[in-house]
A and B are shown apart, each in its own frame.
Chain A
Amino acid sequence: MKSARMTPFRQALGAIVLKDLRTELRTMRSLPAMVLFAVTTFVIFRFGLDRTALSGSLASGVIWTTLLFAAVLGINRIFLPEREEGGFDAFRLAPVDRPVLFVAKAAVLFLYLVVLEVVVVPVFAVFFLQEWSGLVPLVVILLATNLGFAALGTLISSMAVNSRARDLLVPLLLLPLVVPLMIAATGATSHLLDAGGPSYDKFGTWLLVLGLYDGIFCLVGYAVFEFLLED
């Protein structure tokens, strides 16, 4: 028997990404919460540390701790419409390769993180930085780390979404696995935010670590996603 014609990967990817972005623009369920969380955390750090300027590893720790936990809010919700409104079943019936959903959700999460950072990194700079020139190379680190967050977050979220304890499961599974990514991101960022201006000590090494991490979790997610959607 001839199988049904499969929808081209890019067409299905575009359909899912557009659907998710349209829904987010309409409901604002994820991004405002992520931004509000990040800005509030910066305010708490500002008064908790009682310092008007941060640099080096402390600045790096503050920004990445905040971005990590803000990202968890988005990761928790990324598959919620699919679970609550039957999107998983609809997708499983469609003539679409299963990994399309993984790539689409990771792309949406990546975009959420970019928007989050476009808003909150300037806030961080205003609150804590006296030297802003490190922000330009920081963009590369942010994008590389976002890719790792997006791949791993999508994978973990798809595993946890069917559990009633998903709000607990996502951080429980995600945080230990994200440690290498955070070590590389903070390691690369700390020299960029030095008080005297950015230095590029070990920048290439950390970037390589980020690239390896991204590659591993993009491949793992792509490879195992089909099995995660099975009954």
Chain B
Amino acid sequence: MSQSENAIRLRDLGRDYGERPALDGVGLELPAGSSLAVLGPNGSGKSTLLRVLASLLRPSRGEVSVLGCSLPREAWKLRGQIGYLGHEPLLYEDLTGRENLEFQARLYGLPAAEARQRIESDLELLGMGRRADYRVSDYSAGMKQRIAICRAVLHRPALLLLDEPDSNLDPEGREAARALIGRPDELRWESEADRPVTRVAVSHDPEKARAEADQVLELTIGGAPVARRAVA
């Protein structure tokens, strides 16, 4: 996939929970290597959109293409190419932070030496090097978020899907996290898939989101069609 191709293409995407539409009529074209901010009030379907893009939820209607894969039909092709950071850290509470990352590395088939090196450098970047051997159940919410960020990018994905990535992080943590989940041009790693990293981030801070993103997608409550505008 070249830079000019779309990493994400949505046409009239809808997703219902029972009879209630969480998303309706969402359209978007996001070039590979660019950054999208998703804005909207609580309950407007931001997290649902991210889960659909991650192939964790099936769309109820419309067309969804992510990294050239048509969802849900070709969802299996996406496995291993998405870095997903949701509201839940997706960490096992009874393992240490480092054990969680080692488990993730084995699950993604990373060579042991490379995995070790990445884990150490990412933990150091986020200031978790010395605290990585505590159990996750003993971590504060911010520490969990830092380990979850390491987990999301450990396999060097082509698409980052971030649901309020700054939540629970202190200012120092937010700054440090930019090297791993910031704008594509800020990242200190490259995608393993030999393609530019595309970033989609849900935010509740419109000014910051507009400043950081190439495109902004604004969702509204009730699944009404969305307003979208590009940022210069």
Contact = CB atoms under 8 A, between A and B. Distances in A.
Contacts of B77: 1, 3-4
Give the interface centre of B1, B89, B106 by most chain A CB atoms within 10 Å.
B106
A65 interface: no
A95 B82 contact: no
Nearest to B1: A1
Contacts of B69: 1
Contacts of B68: 1
Interface string A6-27: 1110011011100100110011
Contacts of B164: none
Interface in B35-58: 54-58
Contacts of B76: 3
Contacts of B67: 1
B95 A19 contact: yes
A-B pairs, top 8 by smallest CB distance, nearest first, are A95-B80, A4-B80, A7-B109, A15-B106, A1-B68, A3-B77, A86-B90, A95-B79
B88 interface: yes
Interface in A23-79: 23, 26-27
B193 interface: yes
Given A4-B81, A93-B54, A94-B79, A85 B91 contact: yes
B134 interface: no
Interface string B74-97: 001111111010101111111100
B104 interface: yes
17 contacts: A5-B80, A6-B79, A8-B109, A11-B106, A12-B106, A15-B103, A15-B106, A19-B95, A23-B94, A81-B92, A87-B90, A89-B86, A89-B90, A92-B56, A93-B55, A94-B104, A96-B79
Interface SS of A by simple majority: helix
Contacts of A89: 56, 84, 86, 88, 90
B107 interface: yes
B85 to A, nearest CB: 11
Interface of A: 1, 3-8, 11-12, 14-16, 19, 22-23, 26-27, 81, 85-87, 89-96, 230-231
Given A1-B1, A8-B109, A93 B79 contact: yes
**Chain B interface category by residue count:** 35 or more
Interface string B127-167: 00000000000000000000000010000000000000000
A229 B84 CA distance: 18
B109 A5 contact: yes
Given A1-B1, A231-B56, A87 B92 contact: yes
B94 A26 contact: yes
B95 A86 contact: no
A96 B90 contact: no
B99 interface: yes
Contacts of B99: 19, 22
